[in-house]
Amino acid sequence: MTNTTTLTIDGFTLTAAQVVSVARAPHLPVTLAQSSRTALKESRDFIEATWMHDDAPMMYSFNTGVGLLKDTRIKVEHIALFQTQLIKAHCAGIGEPFSEEVSRATMLLRANAFASNYSAPRVEVVDRLLAFLNAGIHPIMPQKGSVGASGDLAPLSYLAAAIAGFDEAEVMYQGQRMRAPQAITAAGIAPVKFDLQAKDASALINGCTASLAVAVLVAHDARHLLTDACLSLGLTLEAMRAEMAAFDPRIQQARPHAGQIKTAAVVRKLLKGSTRTTHEARAVQFPEESRRTDIPYTARIQDVYSLRCAPQVYGPVFDALDYIDNIVDKEINSATDNPLIFGKEGGGFEIISGGNFHGQYLAQAMDLMAMVMTDLGSICERRVARLIDPTLSWGLPRNLMSGVRGVNTGYPVVQCSLSSLVMENRTLCMPGSVDSIPAKGNSEDHVSNSTWCARKAATVVANTQYIIGVEMLLAAQALTMTETLLPDFVLGQGTQAAYEEIRRQIPACLDGDRWFHDDILMAQSFVVTGSVRNAVVEKIGAFV
C-alpha cells in the first residue's frame, strides 16, 4: 500500500518497484501497517505470557542455541545476553561493504518480512528498522561471508548490530562513515542502545535478505538494460542499412516464443518509417565499401547473425527476466527465517522449524541472470566490432575515425575494452548455485551461495551497461558520418528519437580523436539515467 508520499508495508503487498523507490533517491518514507502492528503485538503477547519461562518447550533460537547447539537450552535469565552474543559471533564478514542502496533495500525487506507476522520479533524491532531507513542511517555490511544458508547470517548480523547500537557497528549517515551510536544520536533516534529480546536477534540475521536486496536492484536494472539493448540494436540496424525481413512477424509466429515475438515487434516499432533499412539505401555504395561496380547491385538477401538473429537471442533474455521477476516478487513477500510462528485454530500460536532461509531460488535465478546478461552483452559487442570495420559493416568509415588518417585512430580501443568486459562476464557465468560447502559442523550440509550469485550478477549487469551504451554511441557516430551519403533517407520514428537525444548530449567525433574515456562515461550514462530510453518513450510511447 502506498500514496505519493509514504509507503505502508504489511508483509504481503510490497512490490519490486517500491523496493527500488525506497532504496534509491529520492527515498520514499516507510511506515508499518496498523494491521501488521496489531498482529505482531498479539503473537508477541502470547510468547511473553506462555513461553518465557524455563519449563517452556524447547524452540530453536527462542530458548535454544543455534546450529549444533540446538539441543542446548538457554535459560530466561540469559536470553537477552544470548541476543548480543549471537550477533557478535556472526559478525564475521569480509571485504568491501554493500552499497547504501543495498543496505536500504535490506532493511526494508527485513521489516516487510516481519510485518507478515511469521517471524515473531517484537514490533519495536520493525519500528527500529524503519526509523533507521527513514533517517538515512545505513548499516555497513561486508559483502563477503555469507553462503546463503542459514540465510545471509554474516551481513545481516552487521545490520542487527547497527540497529542495536553496538559500539563496534558502523553506518553511513549523511555521506559520512561513523560508529552507529554517533549516527543514532545525531539523527535524534532514541534509545541509542536498543535492547534485543527473545527471537529478535535470530529473526534479524536469518534469511537471505541481503541476497534478495541485490537481486531486486539487479532485476530492475536488467529490465531497463534490455530495453536499451533494443535501442542500441535499432540504431545499429539503421547504421548498417540492415535487411529487415528477419523481423517479419510470420517468422516469429513459426517459432512462437513470447520473447522472440516481442523482440521483433519492438524492433519494428522503433524502425517504423525507416528508409535507411531498405534495398534503395543499401544500393548506395559507401566510399569504403567493397563491391563490384561492373554489375548492378543485387539484394543483400540476409544479414549476419548478430543482426538477423536478434529476436532469437534477445527473446530468451525477455523470457528469463520474466522468470526471475516471478522469483523475486515472491521472495519480497516471503518469511525467510527460522523458526516461524503460526496461529492455531481455536487460538494461540505454535512454532515450526523449517528451511525458508535457504537461498537456492535466488541463487539459481541470479546465475540465470548472469548468463542471459552476458549473452546480451556478447551479441552487442559483436555488433560494435562490426561498426568499426568497413569490411564487416558494408563500408562504414574504418574505426569510425575522423581527422587525419594515421594521426588519429578512432574507436578500436574502445571496442577492445568492451571485449574485456565480455570476457569478464563470461567468467562470472560460472554457476555459483551448484557450489556447496557444508558449514557449521555439517549441520548446514547444503548451502545455496546466493549472495555470491547475486553479487556477480550485479557485476555482469554493470559491465553490460557500458557495452550497450557504447553501441548506442558508436551507432550514432556511424549515422552522423554517413548522413551526407544518404541525404534522402530517414531513420525510423523510434531510432530518430534515440539518435537526436544522443546528439543532444554529446556531439559526434568529427575533428580527430578526443578523450574517449569521457565518451565511454557518457555512453554508460545513457543507460544508467535512462535518458535515451525516456526520450524515445516521449516520442513514440512505450515500446517494450
Q: Evaluate whether 91 touches 161 at the Cβ level (below 8 Å).
A: yes
Size (the chain), residues: 544
3-state secondary structure 449-477: CHHHHHHHHHHHHHHHHHHHHHHHHHHHH
Which bin fits 174, alpha (ψ -120 to 50), beta or left (φ > 0)?
left
CA atoms of 201 and 176, how far apart (whole Å)? 26
CA atoms of 473 and 483, how far apart (whole Å)? 15
Cα torsion angle, 375, 376, 381, 386, sign: positive
Please provide the DSSP assignment of 275-341 as one string: STTSHHHHTSPPTT----SSS---------HHHHTHHHHHHHHHHHHHHHHHHHHHHHT---SSSEE
CA atoms of 157 and 91, how far apart (whole Å)? 5
Please write down the long-range contacts of 167-175, taking CB distance under 8 Å and 24 or more positions apart: 168/91, 169/139, 169/140, 170/139, 170/140, 171/137, 171/138, 171/139, 171/140, 172/100, 172/103, 172/137, 172/138, 172/140, 173/135, 173/136, 173/137, 173/138, 174/136
What is the DSSP-derived secondary structure letter of residue 77? G
Q: Evaluate whether 291 touches 234 at the Cβ level (below 8 Å).
A: no
CA atoms of 20 and 114, how far apart (whole Å)? 19
Q: Evaluate whether 282 touches 298 at the Cβ level (below 8 Å).
A: no
Q: Evaluate whether 115 touches 101 at the Cβ level (below 8 Å).
A: no
Nearest to 215, CA basis, from 525, 530, 461, 514? 461
Candidates 60, 314, 411, 466; catalytic one? 60
Burial of 480-516, coded b for 16+ CB within 10 Å and e otherwise, reads bbbeeebeebebbbbbbbbbbbbeebbebbeeebeeb
- In degrees, rounded to 5, the angle at the alpha carbon of residue 528 between the alpha carbons of residues 316 and 225 is 5
What values do phi and psi take at 351, rounded to 5? Answer: -105, 130
Q: Is 60 a catalytic residue?
A: yes
CA atoms of 365 and 371, how far apart (whole Å)? 10
Residue whose entry in the numeric block shows the C-alpha cell 537471442 = 313
Determine how many CB atoms are found less than 10 A away from the CB of residue 72: 11
Contacts of 443 (CB under 8 A, 6+ apart): 67, 68, 70
Please provide the DSSP assignment of 410-433 as one string: -SHHHHHHHHHHHHHHHHHTS-ST
Cite the active site residues.
60
